Amino acid sequence: MIRVVFDTNVLVSYLLTHRPPIATLIEVYLGTGTIIAVTAPRMLEELERVLRYPRLQQYVQEQEATRFLAMLAALSEVVVLPDEVPQICRDRDDDWVIACAVAGDAVVLVTGDDDLLVVRDTLQEVAGGTVMSPAELIAVLEGCDTEDTE
């Protein structure tokens, strides 16, 4: 099992498209327990706030957003974040995503955010984890599946 933190942009993308690669991660790998999602109350609150943006409400109904947040909270290990975190990213909000990965012993932070993708080496140094796009994580998981069947 691989412990992962899903960045908000990836989760919103899932709700908007329900297509691979993020749909595969959530519906197949999270659903079967191959990966364990790690989140924090602060991250769930951010996702809820983002889903209330008027430009997103035309695509994601409030009821669907509420169900998704409840499902995510139920399927995830919810960790407590520290009161303060060091600034690592250009976007200060992204530091909380890294803090969640550290607090939850996540091996992978899944994102499409360039500000997080550029700090791969830093996350490796700080927490022994890495930052990957959804497609990169799928490739790793499929590689593990291939090795397991040989």
CATH number of residue 48's parent domain = 3.40.50.1010
Q: Residue 93: pLDDT band by 50, 70, 90 thresholds?
A: confident
- Position 146 scores a pLDDT of 43
The neighbouring-strand residues paired with 46 are none
* Total number of domains constituting the chain: 1
For residue 149, pLDDT over 60 is answered with: no
Mean pLDDT calculated for residue range 50-71: 93
Average pLDDT in the chain: 88
| Contacts (Cβ under 8 Å, ≥6 apart) of 35 | 1, 2, 3, 4, 25, 29, 141
Domain range for 51 is 2-149
User: Which has more pLDDT, 129 or 70?
Assistant: 70
Q: Residue 105: pLDDT band by 50, 70, 90 thresholds?
A: very high
- Position 124 scores a pLDDT of 67
Q: Residue 129: pLDDT band by 50, 70, 90 thresholds?
A: confident
The secondary structure of residue 132, as a DSSP letter, is: E
